[in-house]
Amino acid sequence: MVEKNVVSWNTMIGAYGQNGLFDKAILCFKEMLKEGFQPSSVTMMNLMSANAVPETVLCYVIKCRFTNDA
């Protein structure tokens, strides 16, 4: 990625998930965290939509105290 921000990370994670590349979606999420970016609720929804280990995503959501921003 040329310009990295939460939107570009979410786009990558979502695209991997929509194309069945669940492992790549998870790797992208891990790289996002490693580079110090804070995931958003969109990030979590992209991971859940990708069926990317729901238990892990749920634990992360609870640990970080995400709230419903709807």
| Domains identified in the chain, total number | 1
Residue 16 domain flag: yes
What is this structure's pTM? 0.75
The two three-digit tokens of residue 24, written as one number: 């790549």
CA atoms within 13 A on the CB side of 7: 2
Residue 51 domain flag: yes
Which tens digit of pLDDT belongs to each residue from 12-69? 999 998 998 988 998 999 899 999 999 888 998 888 877 656 666 666 666 666 655 5
Residue 21 domain flag: yes
Domain containing residue 38: 6-63
Residue 48 domain flag: yes
Residue 23 domain flag: yes
**3 in helix, strand or coil?**
coil
DSSP 36: T
Residue 69 domain flag: no
